[in-house]
Structure 1
Amino acid sequence: MTQSRPKLLVLGGPHIDTDALGETLGRYYDLVESSPDAAIRTLEGEGCHAVLAEAGDFFPLERDLVGRQSSMLLNAIGEGVCLVDRDGRVLWANQLYRDLLEPVRKRVVHVCRHAVEHFIQQRNQPESATGGPEATNRTRRFKLNFRKSQRYFEVLVSPVASKLNAPSVPSQGQGAPTIMLAAAVVRDVTATERLNRKMDAIERAGQDLARLDADIVRKMHPTERLRLIEERVRHYAHELLHFDHFAIRMLHPETSRLDLVMSSGIPEKARNIELYAEMEGNGLSGYVAATGQSCISNNTANDPRYIYGLETPGSSLTVPLRVHDRIVGVFNIESSQQDAFNDRDRQFAQIFASYIAGALHTLNLLLVEKHTTSEFASGTVTGEIRGPLNDLAAEVDLLRKENEGNHAMLAHLDRISRDVLSIRRRMKAFTKGEATLLGADEVIESGTIDPALKGKRVLVADNDETIRELIRDVLSAVGCRVVTCDDATSAIRLLETWRHTFDADEGFDLVISDIRMDDRTGYEVFAAAREASEDLPVLLMTGFGYDPHHSIVRATQEGLQGVLFKPFAAKTLIEDVRAAILKMPRKA
């Protein structure tokens, strides 16, 4: 097989005899003749391996070749590059710089002129004042912001000293005067800047989520605080992340159930689905809660893990909620469009989710603190009062013996004894915490019928027998007809029976339910009441426990009449019951 011979580019000239060279070198090379003016094009086009030229033609050719290679390199680096003099003239620029919009190029020239003046001033100062040559030659960094077009550029300007015949800057050393130029590298940092700004905005939003000042803690109930957090989450999810369809579920540590805390743009059918932290059969939320791994489903219609989120299935993004590396819930975002989420959305959602988890964790810590403080206070007060009460009772017994025949004095002593007994009874009730109704004895003993409540049929559901019977006795004392249930399932069954028969004798004027029962949630009782009658008022009760206000937030959005926070006073119960019933539309 014949091997191809190397090509020799021959540039004609007075001292080069191309014919003679052809006879001598033609045996070893394929000769390619060209003129010095066309040498670069021929060299690149023909793929020559060597060059034969006169000395006067070779050096310009070498400079042109190196210059072209430098230009190719500077055009390939992906950044705009230019060389600007003191007067703002662009002496050289690569193609990326020339492709920049005119307003950008003008700003670059402006900062280059400013930098040149700075470099000249630094150069003319003593080294002791500038920190030496290294400080004088230090690159300067500029940021260009174009707010109207939302574009951002970074310009790195370095000094370039050039020895030319035209004087510009007096030289401190020997030789020709020095012209100071500016070499600038222009980078389009729009994507990076937008990312940083969005990250900063998410950080500020997260700080706002967790901000609970003294007035909020002092004046708001736990459910009101959660509602405030929910409003902030909705606002920032929409404005910053453009998430309009999402659900936040918290993991119940005892049952592994994912309780819905808040949602936006999610259909009722999806909100009512019962999910658990399991890898299979519990949707993407259950999978993420079980594995702790975030998940993007680009086509939920074809994803076997997906259960239901929107009427029109599209795509889904789910990230875990973490507190100290512990999974406490999930943040699920839905879209009716396929491929709506990418890794950048996942990153933003994970950052935002960390702030959501922190804010909800803070709410729970406030509940723990409140419960602990109440227990400590009740124990301390009871211990402090027990001694004086015993002393008072002993004094009464002593005075009773000394005044056996004094009926007036004995009557006063009997009254003091009753007061001591009442104080002890109230302190005992106070130490029970949630399992009591403050002031129930007085209401029951008075037996005063309330005309607004007389004959009203009230359904009461609570696992705690003590509180359930106290509510029954108090409401019966003011004229209500009370039906009690020891679990949520029984209460829901009664409401469903009434919904099917709509028998007036089986109907209710009010439903009172605890939020956290062993079998079902207070929200489910509320939902059953709304199914039975849209106008049926419902009061939910809550005390200290795991996230006791989740059901309240959902129910409040759908028309919940009120909330009773245990331990509450009997008078508060009566007032709230009266207010709820009076707001109920009159029956025709």
Structure 2
Amino acid sequence: MSTKPKVLVIGEPNQAAEEAVRKELGNHAEILHGTGSLDTLRHLSDDEVDVVVVGRDRVRQAFDLLHLLQNRDLLDHLPEGVVLVAPNQTILWANKQFCEWTGAKPGEIVGRPFFAPFQSEDGTEEAEILGPNFCPFHSVKTGGKPVQTTLRVNNRKQYELHVAPIFESDGETLTHMVACLRDVTEQNARQKKLRAIHSATMMLADIPPDQLLSMRAEERIELLKQRIASLAKELNYEVIEIRLIERNHDDPNGKDHPPALKGLLAIGMSPEAAARELYAACEGNGITGFVAATGKSYLCEDTQADPLYLPGATEARSCVVVPLVLLNRIIGTFNVESRVPRAFTQYDKECIEALSYNIAVAINTLDLLAEEEYSVAAKSVERIHGAVALPIDDMLKLTSGILNQYMELPPTETIKRVERLRQIVRHMKSLILEIGATLAPTTASPQPPPPKKEFLSGKRILVVHPEDIVRSNAHSVLEPFGCVVETANTGADAIGMIRATNNEGGYAVIFGARHLPDMNGIEFIERLAEEIPVEPLPFIMLIDDGYDRGHIAVQAKQVWNIDQFVHSSLLRTKVLDAVECVVSRPVRLRSGAQHGHEAPQPRPVPDEIQDKS
């Protein structure tokens, strides 16, 4: 082996320069040539060079390569693979992570095509480009812009590949490309599992209408239990428990107690644990009570070391408990236990949270169906009406917007036709309810519909909320009592509908959320006061269990004397009580309202009040 110092000359071979070097060093040095980036990096990477001599024409190239080598240690500690690639797609340099993933040695990888290290000697392993870009390096060379794509190696590993160009100082001449790979195998596997959970849980409440209509409430709940148990088996959950919060838990002495947690389903739990009385409280009610009270998921890695844990399954060593949440309201808890310590990870907790959302939706759906035990004919009408209610509301919003644009102009034939369209749309809703009885089969045994409420009969009600499910529920909760419900999802749409309806008698009651997409509840009330110059305003605020940003409800009560608040879950008794209070109280022209205000007109005093006067 030669012990002479090695001198690397970067640049094209030059006899005069080489003789000058030999003259200075004599025959005590070995001259190496780096005529290109590949040769230069190969020599420099092997740490075999003692002196570097740079030709005048290669100073810029030499500085770039030396700068790369100076940062080699930093790049070697990155969790991503980083590769410097020549325009001909050969590797000039690769960091430690890329070499580990491909199994190649740093000294052997230089000069090979980029995809060659992924292929084994027997040809069984190779990189497959999954897209969206199937020629990443060619695209960078021709387009001059970074691209992104995905690689799959031997059907196991998946990498996200980013390729970016490096130009000369002129900004046009491509000198190198940088490829960065990130291992996304586990991330993609998680996403795939979450999609599978979502797809499976969407089937929980997917019950054929003919089967559903023939089942009583107890049978529907039993069917839900069977489907959840089947789903748990597919996901290898040996021990599960579902409890629901009892909202009507009242103390006979008037004391305020936390709501009880009623068991709905228990698989693998000991009889004592399944029958245990639990409440939504942070202390004395185990992890389940804590989750129900706080709404926070809880991962217990070791039940023997966790003071919150109450024995559930026999020999259970770890568990995950997540809340069942619907419309920002906690309706229960979902508990999964294992006899293996630390059996669950944060990823498992996320999967169980995804599963819990769909379970909550299914429970809510079947609870509503169980509560609304009408006749077969009534159910048919309810399904038809539920399908068209929100689209009809959208048509009303559209026509209201058109009318408001041309409100100040003389009526034209087009405006008259739009107004006629509004009347037809509203008539469609009543027709659906009127002809529903004719759809009932002759074998039906109908139960009596809910009794009509005189204070609601014929009244027009507007519900303003950003969530589709809330607006849809408003139709099903209120319209069986003889009123007409119209909805909007933004404050601006609602104001437009109010303006277009003032000449037709206006809305008897207006429900509004604390926060809308385009304004908050206070801003909506202020806009409402401009359109309806009476007090008190016929307004009911819809609230949920989330944090009240800006204390909207408090301001509504203190500044605008709003005294009716209903939860967005729209419990029927609460809604009816609030509506009756609003439509039955006397109203007067607000102090300071301008006389001669023609549009909009004040809301008419209810007939019940006129009769009393």
TM-score normalized with structure 1 length: 0.46
| More helix, by proportion | 1
